[in-house]
């Protein structure tokens, strides 16, 4: 190579070639390459040829200085990386816009070296001398090359990660800091490499560079005996490594965060190598694994500061839960190897992340920077003999950057030409949009299908490749390999690449055993523990308290990579981009060898040829009229006084620009190649001339000043003494200032120490609080088994007590000394005293309740009022609900109206697909075998916390708008005699007045029905107050869920009183309004009760004595009069199974009817069974009566049915359907009555036509669980999902983002979906414990899976759309 200003042979600007045919381009590139001129320019693009040798003087200090001092380095000096860096820096300062340089090319083309040269120039030009920041920026290169680069087939120093380095500048162009973001480290290289390839440089450098004492202490064998470094016995060439061990240590010393932990970093690296030397053998026919030699694992445990026995156990076994017991399950040799390799990869990758974070902490500027220059050094396009998921991701990243290059150079230019009315010849270019869509398409892209396959329990690499081939069999950029079904080929922009799909799913999941994670977190080495410390989740309310739980949604490696790649492209599009295309002259990494075919392929595939032709045909520089006139009007001789297009034309003519070299559009002027450089050169010459004049004036001023100083010499001598005194004073002040700074530094260090102690204290408090909350979660772990056991014990105890009471009653008949009334009064008083003393259990309380399950809530009315939580009707223990609510982050006082969420959560079943396991430290965690995910909390904790936050935000928004809960009756109801008037529904809200802003429970809002006017015959409503004397056996009545009397026990309290009748609805007891609650939840046992009931009668019926005592009511807003009717029906069992096909609760109320079952159309939800086969049940359970005798093929039932005014007996009404929906929403658990209590299955009978279900009334969403059973692969569920979110109001659920929600659009009549209770508008929140799924993923799981599916759904607002 010649002097610095030597442009070299041939054309340094490819657009100036007479011909741009392939032969001319190859000849020009070869000629320049042979003479050492490896750089050639083509407009905005720089072509860089890898010389595979050192070129003396090309990157010398003199060369760097020349490009720094040049006015226009792009035109005044030969093409160079320095020139591109100078253009980016100058453009940032002149255009006040951030810049970016995209360095791309195939593997081995020299991208990493080019990035180093670019960084060298920018660091030098923007810092004052060899500053500390300048040194730190340059010292990042050996560190990142050592930890992130390795030898491959095509490159001795190949980057195995992507990097985007941004240099931050202020408004004066001074570099303030830097920040580096990395992408997709190739972790698999740690444990496996292809032939003729090596592991990461740092492993060889450190293993060889450690001192003899360190190797002996850490049990490190020679490099040749380390398995991970010699998988293929590749010969090591130490001179090809980017730096020595001493250079690496020096570089890390320059980074403050790495200097104190160097030894810790080397220990982690050596632990990785020690793990690689651990081998396994089988101990039995099952293949259970044990270590051949414990010493490598013991060495690794020593380096990681953990117990060797625990590490060995965590690798070779796992603790799983079987029932209520924990058992140890041995790992097979294959599984143990996978666990070992996973730990090695995790150690290296977490250390790599720590290195990057430490570098960023030392470089990043804490304030706000004005501009930045970003350098993209991302892995080059790769095609090896065997290509896996890593190569697919790498090549996809290159496709995205190539797509960006195409848009910047071609598409955007053509669009602007058309907009401005510029006529240019047709420009042809290669567009890779089809390949990008093939890989990233959301529905069936290569990466999307892989992410989806990881969700399926039976997902495998073979099923993935089958789906992939089926989806893209007609895509001409995708092809199959007939010889091997596991291979597929994609036609990328540089050429075709064949990928091996084996291992795709495992690499995407990238699992790490939670046992090993916990071991590392509890390491005695603080540095190792910090590497595995989980990142703190944000606090749910932003200002302290509970943090957000980790989501149970699976996010694979490719999902995170795609997200970061999209962010990178968006960042680059906001800058002005410069392109450097790196190419290699041959495939054998030889110097002085130029292969035409290799070079020509790269010139075409990288878009260089197309860019040259486009530049020759078009105009690369586009400037607005005003910008041209403002920038160049004064510097061009005879500048025009005109404005707009005419002014620009005259200015360019006066500047000597030929008319063929520019085009004038509507708002912009388009300048040909070199035209802008000529204008800029004239401008710089004008500035230089004016600078000379300014310098002349300055010199004259300085000369006068010097003469004046000479005349004043005597006076200055006299002032010398004073100046000396002043100097001493300054020195003293400086000494005091330093002392003050030292004091401030000491105070700052003390403050930092206090903050660290406070942080540790808070962490300790957080751990204590988590342990306290663990009890709430642990309750849900063991609730099912414990509950079943308690129920069995209570049932056994009740049977024994019943027998004792019967025996005592028989003996008391003949020997009773007191009357029945006196005995009962004494017993009741004794029971009250036992309640006050706390000696009565819940079971004993229920034993003295009415047969219809009317329970006693407390010993006295005063105690009931003190129990503020009684109004919420929790299914779980109040203490458990409150503790779990606090665990979710609720404020018990402010969020009392949302406590039902915690109650629901504690009742939720264990999610399908998750296993409970025990880590080495005794902690319980959840593991998902399909996705490989591990969670320290329950998989549903995140879901219920998110649901709570959504509901809280929804309520807050509702009250912020001034909306009120559903209105209450306007007239104040009259209280029973002797009682003060009470507002309607007051007791339902804890005794406080409803001011219109009182928060209301979700289910009260959910079940409120729209008002409707009564139609048909006129019925009148009455309200009656009665007084009852409680007998020993309770009130002696049976009630429906709506507190309507359907059974009266002969001789009981109600029967003895005589005024209450069949069909009356109880609305108040002892001055308390029931307000939708059941009587058993409100009543407090006492000797005398005051009941208020409502009933309806036809106006034509004659008046009765009790009607004369009753109060006639007016029309009730939002409700119609309701009545009870009795019906006799005959039901038949299924011939094959003997099933009846309906479910009942303990009060013999029908709670579920199978749509196509034997009793469909006869029984309805809410029906009360009074008698069976002419025998009154008299508070006996229907299932006990039917199963106590030999059941026949049919049964005669007498049922009580609630109907509205004007309804035809036995006909279905909208209210009945809404009631059925209400039962479903309420999650009333029931069992189907059959011979063996089997769950319902589709009836073989012919499907009956049914009316379309009515639209659900708009209201608050209802959370519930739905269970689907799919017996065979081809069984159809019968649900259609929306393909887009057009029918879903996301703001209603506080949902953001572009993902398509799984919303049910249509449910087939009689299908399994309808049987399970799914309706249009339901949003599926999770399937078998996996949340965050899209509609496509839910459909695929239901379509391809088999067995039981537990769905958590929420009913939302939906639009009625056409059927799919």
Indicate if the pLDDT at residue 411 is higher than 70.
no
In this prediction, residue 1210 has a pLDDT band, given cuts at 50, 70 and 90, of very low
Is the distance from CB of 80 to CB of 87 less than 8 angstroms?
Answer: no
Q: So what's the pLDDT on residue 436?
A: 92
Q: What is the DSSP letter of 1250?
A: -
Pull the structure tokens for residue 851. Answer: 């047969």
CA distances from 218 to 305, 345, 524, 1304 (A): 12, 20, 16, 60
pLDDT of 858 higher than 50 = no
What average pLDDT does this structure show over 1021-1045? Answer: 80
Interacting residues of 601 by C-beta distance below 8 A, sequence separation 6+: 494, 495
Q: What are phi and psi of 1278, to 5 degrees?
A: 85, 30
Instruction: Report the alpha-carbon distance of residue 1325 to residue 1301 in Å, rounded.
Output: 9
Which one has a higher pLDDT value, 770 or 916? 916
Q: What ranges make up the beta strands (E) of 244-296?
A: 280-282, 289-291
Burial 940-972 (b: 16+ CB within 10 A, else e): bbbbbbbbbbbbbebbeeeeeeeeebeeeeeee
Rounded alpha-carbon distances, angstroms, from residue 629 to 555, 964, 1169: 54, 64, 94
Q: What is the pLDDT of residues 254-310, one digit of tens each?
A: 998 999 999 999 999 999 999 999 999 888 777 788 999 999 999 999 999 999 999
Q: Which two tokens stand for residue 630?
A: 């403002």
- CA angle, 711 then 715 then 716, to 5°: 95
Q: Is 128 exposed, middle or buried (0-12, 13-18, 19+ CB in 10 A)?
A: exposed
Tell me: the pLDDT tens digits for 1118-1163?
344 445 667 888 988 887 777 788 888 766 778 778 888 888 888 8
Structure token pair of residue 506: 């495992």
Q: How many angstroms from the chain centroid is the CA of residue 1096?
A: 55
HSE-CB for 339 with a 13 A CA cutoff:
25
Tell me how long the chain is.
1364
Whether 76 shows a pLDDT value over 80: the answer reads: yes
Residue pLDDT, tens place only, 212-266:
999 999 999 999 899 999 887 777 888 888 899 999 999 999 998 999 999 999 9
255 with 282: CB under 8 angstroms? no
Cα dihedral sign for 863, 865, 868, 874? Answer: positive
Residue that wins the pLDDT comparison between 428 and 921: 921
972-1005 tens-digit pLDDT: 333 333 333 333 233 332 333 333 333 333 333 3
List, in sequence order, every residue forming a beta bridge with 1199; answer none if it has no partner: 1127, 1169
The Cα 410–Cα 426 span in angstroms is 11
Strands 924-928 and 915-918, sheet pairing: antiparallel
C-alpha–C-alpha distance, residues 51 and 29, integer Å: 12
What is the pairing mode between strands 933-935 and 1019-1029? unpaired
Beta strands 576-583; 99-105: pairing state: parallel
- Whether residue 522 contacts residue 863, with contact meaning beta carbons closer than 8 Å, is answered with no
Q: The tokens of 994 are what?
A: 């409803």
Helix then strand then coil, in percent of the chain rounded to 5, is: 45, 15, 40
Q: What pLDDT score was predicted for residue 1012?
A: 36
Helix (H, G, I), strand (E, B) or coil at 759: helix
- d(CA 221, CA 520) in angstroms, rounded, equals 24
Dihedral pair phi/psi, residue 934, rounded to 5°: -125, 140
Q: What is the pLDDT of residue 706?
A: 85
Rg (CA), the chain: 41
For residue 496 the two structure tokens come to: 């075709």
Q: How high is the pLDDT of residue 965? A: 42
d(CA 386, CA 389): 10
pLDDT value of residue 845 = 44
CA 769 to chain centre: 25
CA angle at residue 1024 from 1019 to 1029, to 5 degrees? 145
As a whole number, mean pLDDT of residues 843-872 equals 43
Q: Are 933 and 923 in contact (CB under 8 A)?
A: no
439 pLDDT band, cuts 50/70/90, is very high
In order, the DSSP letters of 1031-1061 are: BTTB--EEE-TT-BEEEE-TTSHHHHH----
Point out the least confidently predicted range of 729-743, 836-850, 1025-1039: 836-850
Angle formed at CA 1141 by CA 1140 and CA 1145, multiple of 5 degrees: 95
Q: Which of 209-223, 484-498, 1323-1337 has the lowest mean pLDDT?
A: 1323-1337
Contact 850, 1078 (CB under 8 A): no
- Give DSSP secondary structure letters for 979-1010: S----TT-GGGTT----S-----HHHHHT---
Angle at 92 between CA 91 and CA 98, to 5 degrees: 125
Give 699-717 pLDDT, tens digit per residue.
Answer: 888 888 888 888 888 888 8
Is the pLDDT at 793 greater than 90? The verdict is no
Does residue 967 carry a pLDDT above 50? no
User: Strand, helix or coil at 794?
Assistant: helix
- The better pLDDT of the pair 1236, 888 is held by 888
**Of 1245, 1110, 1130, 1121, residue with least CA distance to 1199:** 1130
- Residue 1363, pLDDT above cutoff 60: no
User: Tens digits of per-residue pLDDT, 353-410?
Assistant: 999 999 999 988 877 778 899 999 887 788 888 899 989 998 999 888 888 887 777 7
Structure confidence at residue 1280 as a pLDDT band (50, 70, 90): confident
Query: What's the pLDDT tens digit per position in 16-28?
Result: 777 778 888 899 9
Task: Kindly report the average pLDDT of the chain as a whole number.
Answer: 77
**CA 80: distance to chain centroid?**
45
What is the C-alpha to C-alpha distance for residues 597 and 611, in angstroms, rounded to an integer? 19
Residue 637 has a pLDDT of 67
Do the strands 371-377 and 325-330 form a parallel or antiparallel pair, or are they unpaired? Answer: unpaired
Q: Please report which residue ranges of 712-819 form alpha helices under DSSP H.
A: 713-718, 720-815
Binned at pLDDT 50, 70 and 90, residue 784 comes out as low
Tokens 């929804």 -> residue:
954
pLDDT at 461 over 90: yes
Question: 876 to each of 869, 882, 908, how far by Cα in Å?
Answer: 12, 10, 11
pLDDT, residue 933, reads 83
890, 789 contact by CB (below 8 A): no
Q: Round to whole Å and give the CA distance between 494 and 394.
A: 13
- Is residue 126 classed as helix, strand or coil in its secondary structure? coil
- Distance CA(635)–CA(632), nearest Å, equals 5
pLDDT at 1221 over 50: no
In 3D, which of 402, 580, 673 has the Cα closest to residue 39? Answer: 580
C-beta separation of 1145 from 1240 below 8 A: no
How far, in Å, CA of 1053 to CA of 1051, rounded?
Answer: 7
Give yes or no for a contact between 21 and 3, defined as CB atoms under 8 angstroms apart: no
SS3 545: coil
Residue 528 CB-half CA count within 13 A? 28
- 944 DSSP 8-state letter: H
Q: Where are the beta strands (DSSP E) in 482-628?
A: 487-491, 496-500, 576-583, 621-624
% of the chain with per-residue pLDDT over 70: 77
What is residue 1011's predicted lDDT score, i.e. its pLDDT? Answer: 36
Model's pTM, two decimal places?
0.60
Identify the helix (H) or strand (E) that includes residue 1203. strand 1194-1204
Residue 970 pLDDT > 50 = no
**pLDDT single digits (tens) 1047-1061:** 777 777 887 887 887
pLDDT at 1279 over 60: yes
More confident residue, 962 or 117: 117
CA-CA distance, 1294 to 1285, in Å (whole number)?
A: 14
């Amino acid at each position: 190579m010649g002097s610095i200003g030597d442009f070299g042979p041939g054309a340094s600007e490819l657009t100036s070639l007479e011909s741009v045919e392939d032969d001319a381009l190859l000849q020009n590139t070869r000629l320049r390459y042979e003479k050492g001129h490896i750089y050639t320019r083509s407009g905005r693009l720089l072509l860089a040829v890898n010389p595979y040798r050192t070129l003396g003087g090309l990157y010398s200090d003199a060369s760097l200085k020349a490009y720094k001092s040049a006015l226009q380095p792009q035109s005044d000096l030969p093409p160079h990386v320095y020139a591109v860096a100078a253009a980016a820096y100058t453009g940032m300062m002149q255009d006040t816009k951030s810049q970016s340089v995209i360095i791309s090319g195939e593997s081995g083309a020299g991208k990493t070296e080019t990035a180093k040269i670019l960084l060298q120039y920018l660091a030098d030009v923007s810092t004052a001398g060899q500053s500390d920041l300048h040194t730190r920026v340059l010292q990042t290169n050996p560190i990142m090359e050592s930890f992130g680069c390795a030898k491959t087939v095509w490159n001795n120093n190949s980057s195995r990660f992507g990097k985007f380095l941004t240099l931050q500048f202020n408004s004066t162009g001074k570099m303030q800091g830097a920040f580096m973001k990395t992408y997709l480290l190739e972790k698999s290289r740690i444990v496996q490499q292809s032939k003729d390839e090596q592991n990461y440089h740092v492993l060889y450098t450190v293993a060889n560079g450690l001192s003899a004492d360190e190797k002996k202490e850490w049990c490190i064998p020679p490099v040749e005996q380390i398995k991970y470094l010699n998988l293929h016995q590749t010969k090591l060439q130490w001179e090809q490594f980017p730096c020595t061990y001493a250079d690496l240590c020096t570089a890390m010393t320059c980074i403050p965060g790495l200097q104190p932990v160097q030894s810790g970093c080397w220990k982690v690296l050596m632990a990785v190598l020690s793990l690689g030397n651990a081998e396994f053998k089988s101990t039995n026919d099952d293949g259970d694994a044990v270590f051949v030699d414990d010493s490598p694992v013991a060495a690794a445990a020593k380096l990681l500061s953990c117990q060797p026995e625990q590490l060995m156990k965590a690798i070779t076994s796992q603790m799983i839960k079987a029932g209520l017991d924990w058992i140890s399950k041995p790992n097979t040799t294959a599984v143990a190897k996978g666990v070992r390799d996973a730990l090695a990869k995790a150690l290296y990758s977490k250390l790599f992340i720590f290195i990057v974070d430490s570098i960023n902490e030392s470089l990043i500027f804490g304030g706000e920077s004005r501009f930045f220059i970003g350098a993209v050094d991302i892995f080059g396009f790769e095609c090896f003999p065997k290509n896996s998921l890593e190569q697919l991701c790498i090549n996809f990243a290159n496709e995205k950057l190539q797509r960006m290059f195409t848009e910047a150079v071609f598409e955007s230019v053509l669009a602007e030409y058309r907009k401005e009315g510029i006529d240019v010849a047709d420009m042809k270019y290669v567009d890779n949009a089809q390949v990008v869509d093939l890989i990233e398409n959301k529905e069936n892209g290569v990466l999307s299908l892989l992410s989806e396959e990881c969700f399926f329990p039976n997902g495998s690499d073979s099923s993935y490749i089958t789906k992939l081939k089926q989806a893209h069999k007609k895509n001409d950029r995708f092809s199959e390999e007939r010889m091997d079904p596991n291979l597929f080929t994609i036609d990328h922009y540089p050429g075709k690449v064949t990928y091996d799909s084996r291992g795709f799913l495992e690499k995407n999941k990238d699992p790490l055993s939670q046992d090993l994670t916990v071991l590392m977190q509890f390491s005695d080495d603080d540095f190792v523990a910090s590497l595995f410390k989980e990142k703190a989740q944000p606090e749910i309310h932003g200002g302290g308290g509970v943090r957000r739980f980790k989501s149970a949604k699976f996010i694979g490696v490719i999902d995170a990579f795609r997200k970061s790649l999209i962010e990178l492209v968006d960042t680059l599009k906001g800058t002005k981009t410069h392109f450097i295309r790196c190419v290699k002259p041959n495939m054998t990494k030889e110097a002085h060898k130029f292969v035409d075919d290799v070079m020509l392929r790269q010139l075409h595939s990288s878009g260089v040829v197309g860019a040259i032709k486009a530049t020759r045909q078009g105009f690369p520089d586009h400037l607005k009229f005003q910008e041209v006139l403002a920038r160049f009007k004064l510097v061009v001789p005879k500048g025009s006084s005109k404005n707009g297009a005419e002014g620009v034309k005259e200015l360019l003519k006066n500047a000597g620009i030929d008319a063929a070299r520019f085009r004038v559009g509507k708002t912009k002027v388009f300048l040909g190649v070199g035209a802008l450089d000529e204008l800029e050169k004239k401008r710089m010459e004008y500035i230089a001339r004016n600078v000379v004049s300014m310098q002349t004036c300055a010199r004259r001023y300085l000369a006068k000043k010097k003469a004046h100083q000479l005349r004043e010499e005597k006076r200055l001598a006299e002032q010398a003494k004073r100046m000396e005194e002043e100097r001493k004073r300054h020195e003293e002040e400086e000494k005091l200032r330093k002392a003050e700074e030292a004091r401030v530094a000491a105070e700052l260090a003390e403050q930092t120490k206090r903050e660290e102690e406070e942080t540790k204290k808070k962490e300790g408090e957080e751990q204590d609080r988590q342990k306290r909350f663990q009890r709430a979660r642990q309750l849900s772990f063991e609730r099912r088994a414990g509950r079943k056991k308690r129920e069995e014990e209570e049932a056994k105890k009740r049977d024994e007590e019943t027998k004792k009471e019967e025996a005592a009653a028989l003996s008391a008949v003949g020997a009773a000394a007191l009357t029945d009334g006196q005995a009962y009064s004494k017993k009741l008083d004794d029971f009250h005293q036992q309640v006050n003393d706390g000696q009565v259990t819940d079971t004993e309380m229920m034993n003295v309740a009415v047969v219809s399950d009317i329970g006693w809530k407390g010993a006295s009315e005063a105690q009931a009022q003190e129990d503020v939580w009684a109004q919420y009707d929790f299914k779980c223990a109040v203490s458990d609900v409150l503790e779990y609510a606090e665990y979710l982050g609720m404020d018990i006082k402010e969020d009392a109206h949302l406590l039902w969420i915690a109650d629901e959560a504690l009742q939720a079943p264990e999610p399908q697909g998750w296993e409970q396991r025990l880590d080495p430290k005794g902690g319980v965690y959840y593991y998902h075998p399909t996705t490989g995910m591990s969670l320290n909390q329950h998989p549903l904790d995140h879901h219920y916390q998110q649901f709570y936050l959504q509901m809280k935000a929804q309520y807050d928004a509702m009250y912020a708008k001034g909306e009120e809960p559903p209105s209450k009756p306007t007239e104040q109801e009259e209280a029973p005699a002797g009682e003060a008037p009470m507002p309607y529904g007051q007791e339902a809200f804890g005794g406080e007045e409803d001011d219109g802003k009182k928060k209301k429970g979700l289910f009260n809002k959910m079940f409120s029905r729209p008002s409707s006017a009564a139609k048909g015959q006129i019925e009148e409503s009455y309200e009656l107050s009665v007084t009852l004397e409680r007998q020993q056996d309770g009130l002696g009545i049976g009630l429906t869920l709506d507190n309507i009397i359907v059974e009266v026990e002969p001789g009981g309290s109600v029967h003895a009183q005589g005024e209450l009748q069949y069909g009356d609805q109880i609305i108040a007891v002892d001055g308390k309004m029931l307000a939708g609650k059941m009587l058993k939840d409100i009543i407090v046992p006492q000797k005398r009760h005051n009941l208020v009931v409502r009933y309806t009668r036809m106006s034509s019926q004659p008046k009765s004595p009790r009607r004369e005592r009753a109060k006639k009511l007016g029309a009730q807003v939002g409700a119609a009069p309701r009545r009870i009717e009795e019906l006799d029906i005959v039901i038949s069992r299924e011939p094959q199974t003997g099933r009846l096909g309906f479910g009942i609760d303990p009060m013999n109320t029908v709670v579920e009817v199978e749509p196509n079952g034997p009793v469909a159309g006869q029984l309805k939800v809410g029906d009360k069974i009074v008698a069976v086969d002419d025998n009154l049940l008299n508070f006996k359970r229907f299932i006990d009566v039917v199963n106590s005798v030999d059941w026949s093929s049919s049964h005669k039932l007498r049922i009580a049915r609630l109907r509205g005014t004007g309804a035809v007996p036995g006909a279905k009404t909208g209210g009945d359907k809404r009631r059925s929906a209400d039962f479903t929403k309420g999650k009333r658990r029931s069992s189907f009555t059959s011979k063996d209590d089997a769950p319902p299955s589709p009836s073989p009978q012919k499907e009956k036509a049914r009316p379309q279900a009515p639209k659900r009334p708009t209201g608050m969403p209802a959370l519930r669980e739905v269970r689907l059973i799919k017996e065979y692969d081809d069984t159809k569920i019968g649900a259609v999902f929306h393909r887009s979110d057009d029918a879903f109001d996301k703001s209603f659920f506080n949902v953001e983002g572009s993902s398509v929600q799984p919303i049910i659009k249509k449910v087939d009549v009689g299908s399994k979906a309808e049987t399970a209770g799914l309706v249009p508008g339901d949003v599926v929140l999770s399937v078998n414990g996996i949340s965050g799924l899209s509609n496509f993923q839910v459909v695929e799981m239901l379509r391809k899976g088999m067995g039981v599916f537990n769905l958590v759904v929420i009913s939302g607002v939906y639009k009625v759309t056409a059927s799919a």
